[in-house]
């Protein structure tokens, strides 16, 4: 009888989820006001993700690194998941996508005297746009040849280029861009504006590495628990606590 129990335990353990020590290693970039290492509870997306995984019996550790490194290292299985990412066809080869944790609107920031009224990409024909290395914006934006893309490793560096007029525009989530300007460039923010062009409306997900055994089933459990929390009204207060309107939560 004891032998049967031991064999059952070994068999069951072999099908456990990532992190047999009941911890999940996630990685991401600084992306306030959605998540950041210095934010309260590391921001609302981190807090929601941690709440879900805590209910599943996991502790969550989040490491903050440049975005491209976060994506590449998780592709290789060095981390269990990327916290807070857009999803694309290219990424589907490497990651399981969670249900949406939040939503995002990507816009163009510019100097006020470079404002364009036309709400499509033809408005910026022949201009330069600063983008973050490794970011996905939209298929249309990525493939467009109407303008040149200047890559940078950080949004801060993009705004430094914009303020110095070394690029014409910066592509960024509207709330992220506004938060960074408020924090890093308060003396310059009044000279900048956003165009009516919405580059993309995206949803924000947890991307689980396909290199990690058991990640598919953990993603399924994560999604079930996330939906349960949304139905129980546990999610909206987290957004509100961090200064978001309830609409920030993607239902």
Query: CA–CA distance from 125 to each of 146, 149, 188 (Å)?
Result: 5, 12, 25
60 neighbors 24 (Cβ within 8 angstroms): yes
Q: What is the pLDDT of residue 250?
A: 42
For residue 218, which of 26, 72, 73, 88 has the smallest C-alpha distance? 26
Among 3.40.50.920, 3.20.20.80, 3.40.50.720, 3.40.190.10, what is the CATH number of 16-103+202-248? Answer: 3.40.190.10
pLDDT at 120: 86
Residue 6 is predicted with a pLDDT of: 40
Q: Do domains 16-103+202-248 and 104-201 have the same CATH topology?
A: yes
Q: Is 28 helix (H, G, I), strand (E, B) or coil?
A: strand
pTM here is 0.86
Which residue in this structure is represented by tokens 């299985």? 77
pLDDT of residue 156: 97
Give the pLDDT of residue 116.
86
In the chain, which residues have pLDDT < 50? 1-16, 19, 248-251
- Compute, in degrees rounded to 10, the torsion defined by CA atoms 26, 18, 226, 64: 0
pLDDT for 45-98, tens place per residue?
Answer: 999 999 999 999 999 999 999 999 999 999 999 999 999 999 999 999 999 999
Q: Which CATH number fits domain 104-201: 3.40.190.10, 3.40.50.720, 3.30.470.20, 3.20.20.70?
A: 3.40.190.10
pLDDT tens, residue by residue, 54-63: 999 999 999 9
Dihedral (CA of 105, 108, 109, 114) sign: negative
* Stretch (H or E) spanning 203: strand 192-209
Report pLDDT for 119.
78
- Structural domain boundaries of the chain? 16-103+202-248, 104-201
Does residue 119 contact residue 196 with C-beta atoms inside 8 Å? Answer: yes
């Amino acid at each position: 009888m004891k032998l049967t129990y031991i064999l059952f335990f070994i068999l069951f353990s072999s099908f456990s989820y990532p992190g047999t020590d009941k911890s999940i290693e996630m990685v991401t970039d600084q992306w306030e006001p959605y998540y950041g290492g210095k934010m309260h509870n590391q921001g609302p997306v981190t807090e929601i993700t941690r709440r879900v995984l805590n209910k599943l019996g996991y502790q969550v550790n989040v490491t903050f690194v440049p975005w491209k490194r976060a994506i590449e290292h998780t592709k290789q299985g060095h981390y269990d998941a990327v916290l807070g990412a857009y999803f694309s066809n290219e990424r589907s080869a490497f990651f399981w996508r969670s249900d949406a944790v939040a939503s995002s609107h990507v816009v163009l920031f510019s100097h006020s005297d470079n404002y364009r009224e036309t709400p499509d990409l033809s408005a910026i024909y022949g201009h330069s746009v600063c983008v973050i290395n490794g970011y996905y914006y939209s298929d249309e934006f990525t493939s467009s040849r109407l303008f040149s893309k200047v890559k940078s490793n950080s949004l801060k560096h993009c705004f430094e280029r914009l303020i110095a007029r070394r690029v014409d525009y910066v592509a960024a989530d509207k709330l992220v861009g506004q938060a960074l300007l408020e924090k890093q460039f308060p003396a310059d923010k009044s000279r900048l504006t956003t165009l009516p062009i919405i580059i993309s409306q995206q949803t924000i997900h947890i991307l689980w590495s396909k290199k990690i055994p058991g990640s598919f089933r953990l993603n399924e459990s994560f999604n079930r628990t996330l939906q349960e929390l949304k139905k129980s009204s546990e999610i909206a207060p987290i957004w509100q606590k961090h200064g978001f309107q309830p609409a920030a939560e993607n239902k």
